[in-house]
């Protein structure tokens, strides 16, 4: 059978690669054509476009690159028509994917969506398009099933979270070897995960580093994003106990004692590595005020949203300052707060459905094609 997969971001590349492995394990002769990245390319199939050529963040950047974006959409449609897949699999990336899905549905093609757009956070009106254009939806967060089925009467499959597989299947990191390879000391590590975009990193990392002087017994290690050069981070390495590693976030988390994490998927990754954390978020005032009016969620971190209570401390906007960061970090370094968080993490992993998300999704997708839904 023929599969056309569209993933437009680094996380989609990771989850897409594991899905491809699972499909090929079930069906070695499968033809797969995809938009994704290096991880998907290593599995096999044919890479059409790399996600690094698709990443336009923010209103202004989208407007400036509108011609390129529209060109990509047009090219994608032509490529699908030429390939004539048995199914199209969309992985998150809703701005692009929902446009393709609308077009494909009109032509009678089969649309399957793996990893739902976060319409439960904002743009909930997209549910109309999803109901109209998507034949099957596979969700990875437990509360998404209720959101779709109870609130919007749209049946979905909860397959579990693929991060569990991605993390559990990796080779275990040796602390001694890790510190030797990265010129670190034997001090316990506090990981700093400031995000991936320059503007975000500059804002968050400056705040995170403001507490370094208060914790001389620790080394603070910045998790460098693969999209940024070392020269950008170099300006932040001003004290002896601030270190840097690039594109080794999972290795870093596996040997860390605690973490300061910018809100996003990284909060869930940190939890799955059993690392107590403080979730940080700060935007410019105008963006924050707009977001407050659009997004009506009790929490911003996936950990707390899934658990439906505050498991990890969230420091948002004006609450995110050096004094509060230091105070909360002291709490999770040792003692009862640390133990409580780690106990809750165990429950979190159970709620996420355990291992096998990629295999479950692959089975469902193959079955859907054979049964023609």
With residue 151 as reference, give the H or E element that holds it: none
**What pLDDT shows up at residue 220?**
97
The stretch 46-58 carries a mean pLDDT of 75
In which band, very low, low, confident or very high, does the pLDDT at 285 lie, cut at 50, 70 and 90? low
What sign for the dihedral angle of Cα 234, 235, 239, 242?
Answer: negative
The stretch 98-106 carries a mean pLDDT of 97
Q: Which of the pair, 273 or 58, is modelled with greater confidence?
A: 273
pLDDT tens readout for residues 20-46 = 999 999 999 999 999 999 999 999 999
Neighbouring residues of 25: CB distance < 8 A, sequence distance ≥ 6: 359, 362
Angle at 305 between CA 300 and CA 311, to 5 degrees: 90
**What pLDDT shows up at residue 59?**
45
Q: Which residue has the tokens 């409580």?
A: 340
**What pLDDT shows up at residue 355?**
87
What token pair was written down for 275? Answer: 């690392």
pLDDT tens readout for residues 291-343 = 554 556 788 899 999 999 999 999 998 899 999 999 999 999 988 889 999 99
Domains 2-160+356-370 and 168-351 share a fold: yes
Q: Please, what's the largest Cα pairwise distance for the chain?
A: 63
Task: Show me where the domains of the chain are located.
Answer: 2-160+356-370, 168-351
DSSP 303-320: HHHHHTS-SSEEEEGGG-
Region class of 69: left (phi > 0), else alpha (psi between -120 and 50), else beta: alpha
In which band, very low, low, confident or very high, does the pLDDT at 58 lie, cut at 50, 70 and 90? very low
**Given a cut of 90, is residue 103 above it in pLDDT?**
yes
Q: Do 4 and 84 contact (CB within 8 A), yes or no? A: no
For 154, 162, 180, 303, 318, the CA distances from 207, given in Å and listed in that order, are 42, 31, 28, 22, 12
Q: Which of the pair, 349 or 169, is modelled with greater confidence?
A: 349
pLDDT cut 70: percent of the chain above it: 92
pLDDT tens readout for residues 208-231 = 999 999 999 999 999 998 778 899
Q: Which residue has the tokens 């990981």?
A: 191
In which band, very low, low, confident or very high, does the pLDDT at 66 lie, cut at 50, 70 and 90? low
Average pLDDT, the chain: 90
What sign for the dihedral angle of Cα 137, 142, 148, 154?
Answer: positive
| Domain 168-351 coded CATH 3.40.50.11540 | no
- Model pTM score: 0.84
Q: Which of the pair, 189 or 226, is modelled with greater confidence?
A: 189
**What pLDDT shows up at residue 51?**
86
Give pairs for 53-56: CB < 8 Å, separation 24+. Answer: 54/8, 54/93, 54/96, 55/8, 55/9
In which band, very low, low, confident or very high, does the pLDDT at 188 lie, cut at 50, 70 and 90? very high
CATH fold, domain 2-160+356-370, is: Rossmann fold (3.40.50)
Q: Do 33 and 79 contact (CB within 8 A), yes or no? A: yes
CA atoms within 13 A on the CB side of 353: 23
- Report which of 315, 313, 291 is spatially closest to residue 303, judged by C-alpha positions: 313
The 3-state DSSP class for residue 170 equals coil
**Given a cut of 90, is residue 166 above it in pLDDT?**
no
């Amino acid at each position: 059978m023929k599969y056309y997969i569209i993933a437009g971001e680094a996380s989609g590349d990771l989850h897409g690669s594991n899905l491809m492995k699972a499909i090929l394990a079930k069906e070695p002769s499968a033809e797969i054509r995809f938009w994704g990245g290096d991880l998907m390319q290593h599995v096999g199939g044919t890479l059409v476009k790399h996600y690094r050529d698709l990443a336009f963040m923010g209103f202004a950047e989208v407007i400036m690159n509108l011609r390129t974006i529209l060109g990509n959409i047009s090219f994608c449609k032509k490529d699908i028509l030429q390939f004539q897949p048995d199914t199209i699999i969309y992985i998150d990336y809703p701005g692009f994917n929902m446009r393709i899905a609308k077009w494909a549905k009109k032509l009678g093609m089969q649309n399957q969506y793996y990893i739902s757009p976060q319409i439960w956070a904002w743009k909930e009106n997209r549910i109309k398009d999803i109901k109209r254009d998507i034949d099957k939806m596979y969700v990875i967060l437990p509360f998404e099933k209720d959101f779709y089925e109870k609130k919007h009467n749209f049946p979905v499959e909860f397959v579990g979270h693929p991060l569990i597989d991605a993390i559990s299947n990796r080779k275990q990191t040796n602390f001694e070897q890790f510190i030797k390879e990265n010129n670190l000391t034997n001090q316990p590590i506090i990981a700093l995960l400031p995000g991936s975009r320059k503007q975000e990193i500059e804002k968050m990392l400056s705040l995170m580093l403001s507490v370094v002087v208060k914790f001389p017994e620790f080394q603070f290690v910045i998790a460098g994003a693969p999209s940024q050069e070392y020269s950008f981070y170099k300006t932040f390495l001003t004290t002896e106990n601030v270190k840097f590693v690039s594109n080794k976030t999972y290795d870093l988390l596996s040997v860390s004692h605690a973490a300061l994490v910018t809100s996003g998927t990284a909060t869930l990754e940190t939890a799955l590595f059993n690392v107590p954390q403080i979730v940080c978020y700060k935007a410019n005032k105008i963006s924050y005020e707009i977001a407050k009016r659009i997004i009506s969620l009790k929490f911003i971190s996936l950990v707390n949203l899934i658990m439906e209570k505050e498991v990890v401390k969230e420091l948002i906007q004006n609450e995110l300052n050096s004094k509060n960061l230091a105070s909360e970090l002291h709490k999770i370094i040792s003692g009862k707060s640390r133990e409580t968080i780690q106990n809750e993490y165990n429950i979190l992993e159970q709620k996420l459905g355990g291992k096998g998300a990629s295999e479950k999704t692959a089975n469902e997708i193959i079955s859907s094609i054979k049964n023609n839904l």
